A and B are shown apart, each in its own frame.
Chain A
Amino acid sequence: MTLAQRINSWTRKVPAWLIYVIAVLPPAWYFYAGFTGNLGPDPAKTLERDIGKLGLQVLIGVIAITPVRDYLGVNLVKFRRALGVTAFFYILLHFLVWFILDMQDIGRALSDIVKRPYILIGMSALVLMLPLALTSNNWSIRRLNPKRWKNLHKLTYLILPLGGLHYYMLQKLPGEPLIYLSVIVVLLLMRVKWKHWFAPRPQKA
């Protein structure tokens, strides 16, 4: 049995709901550490930054699932929905920490959303995630019909680069965000159906 096959037979036994159980652990740990004084001198900022970054990482994982299956033969598709919802949950938390603990004021938050391009970009990504999170259930797939549902969820290809750009723009130095952006670009390029675009078109007679 190849390694990919072994992983596949193992993941078949792992229920997807386990993702949600694991997903709760990092924020729970951050809040516990923050309230017990173990998250450094600026716990709100640490939580805001780290949970946002974690959301971006999970979202990158979501988009990597198809290429990992196609190129490595490892099938993690059953976890995709749970991971997508987890990413949304982290990014929503990132927004709430920014809004409540960091900005501390509606007027200040609104004026920053308007004035700061990186916040506007981040907010757009969060708003675009909302319909995806709300339709991440079987009922919505039936209701929308699978084809339309799939098209809707292609918004992820827009959300992810927006998130990467948001991260790039808020850092003082671009080093680490550039790595994230490159990974995002590579993953998106892997999703382009090159054969479709470059195949010779049937000529009309």
Chain B
Amino acid sequence: MARWKNTLKWSDVTPKSVFLNRRQLIAGTVSLAAMASPAFAKLNYTPDTADADLELNTFEDITNYNNYYEFGTGKGDPAAYADSLTTDPWSVVVDGMVDKPGTYDLADLMSGMTLEERIYRFRCVEAWSMVVPWIGFTLADLLGKLGVQSGAKYVAFETIVRPEEMPGQKYSTIEWPYREGLRMDEAMHPLTLMTVGLYGEVLPNQNGAPIRLIVPWKYGFKSIKSIVKISLTDTMPQTTWNMLQANEYGFYANVNPEVDHPRWSQATERRIGGGFFADRIDTLKFNGYGDEVASLYAGQDLAKDY
């Protein structure tokens, strides 16, 4: 498959000066020490230069409105508590039907990967959405490097379990670790991104540092954060929300305005960032990436394989 070209661009992008809030900078309330810390380290990447009319959400919105139950179930909990997570050193276990299994240091896992910026729509299953400038490399490139064996049909992922650094994990709200998975063709799709950065900088902890998955045509819960394990398997892996409520959250979880969540409509979404009067907009099938991914599901009944 050809390398993916974006249709969104920086044209109407909120200037960085706005998301860092120039006034706060001048007033000195954003400490320079915080900005110089590794968490704000710059990345070298290929900018996304494609063309579209979507407006990016601000860095502030993207980093203060998160579902990351490892830090608590409130949307503000990750921003409040994620600082405590140690993301360096970080290692990722690669196992299963793969030529080069092992425990990889993050730098080794990423070596040889090309960092690209990808401006993607992000649609939560709770019917809100954002537009985010991620930075990462394709999962396809990583799997190519690791060597997928012929029998492998799925990729399974796990989030770190570290209750001493993740206050939400002290409660069994969900069965830790958080688990997600993709079918092999989904994993190999050029849109599927192993993400390490946001807005030109290293991924903030509340967004899933140091490495997370982004699958832009699926509901946000598929895009697992702070990954410590990647397994190649021949059976469909268990996934966290499906384990919790199988009738509400399927394995595929493709964004689909025609298939409602049993308790709420998925036909529209509220685009975060407009304050009290944020617009409700129509949800796009496959979150607007139908041209690229609809063929993966040819012949599948999406009302059944939700």
Contact = CB atoms under 8 A, between A and B. Distances in A.
A193 interface: no
B275 A116 contact: no
A128 interface: no
B272 interface: yes
A45 B275 contact: no
Interface in B246-277: 260, 263-265, 268, 270, 272-273, 275-277
Contact of A175 (B57, B60, B173, B278): B173
B268 A108 contact: yes
Contact of B64 (A40, A101, A102, A170): A40
B100 interface: no
Chain A binding surface SS class: helix
Interface in A90-138: 101-105, 108, 111-112, 115-118
A118 B61 contact: no
B280 A103 contact: yes
A169 B262 CA distance: 11
B292 interface: no
Contact of B126 (A37, A41, A116, A172): A172
B75 interface: yes
Chain B binding surface SS class: loop
A34 interface: yes
Contacts of B273: 41
Given A41-B64, A41-B65, A175-B73, A116 B276 contact: no
Interface residues of B, number: 29
A51 to B, nearest CB: 13
B10 interface: no
B263 A169 contact: yes
A172 B126 CA distance: 9
Contacts of B57: 41
B65 A34 contact: no
B288 interface: no
Pick the most buried of A34, A35, A44: most chain B CB atoms within 10 A of its CB. A44
A169 B61 CA distance: 27
A34 B128 contact: no
A42 B268 contact: no
A105 B64 contact: no
Interface string A54-74: 000000000000000000000
Contact of B277 (A40, A45, A101, A170): A101
B204 interface: no
A116 B69 CA distance: 26
A181 to B, nearest CB: 17
A103 B171 CA distance: 33
Interface string A31-47: 00011010011111101
B101 interface: no
Interface in B212-255: 244
A34 B274 CA distance: 11
B76 A116 contact: no
A122 to B, nearest CB: 12
A173 interface: yes
B62 to A, nearest CB: 8
B76 to A, nearest CB: 6
Pick the most buried of A42, A170, A175: most chain B CB atoms within 10 A of its CB. A42
A203 to B, nearest CB: 52
A43 B275 contact: yes
Nearest to B63: A41
A120 to B, nearest CB: 12
B276 A115 contact: no
A47 B174 CA distance: 27
Interface string B41-68: 0000000000000000100110011000
B73 A42 contact: no
Contacts of A101: 276-277
A111 B260 CA distance: 13
14 contacts: A34-B275, A41-B57, A41-B60, A41-B61, A42-B278, A43-B276, A45-B128, A101-B276, A102-B280, A105-B280, A116-B263, A118-B263, A173-B69, A175-B173
Interface of A: 34-35, 37, 40-45, 47, 101-105, 108, 111-112, 115-118, 169-170, 172-173, 175
Given A44-B278, A108-B280, A173-B174, 15 more contacts: A34-B275, A40-B65, A40-B76, A41-B57, A41-B60, A41-B75, A44-B275, A103-B280, A108-B268, A111-B265, A112-B265, A116-B263, A116-B264, A118-B263, A169-B263
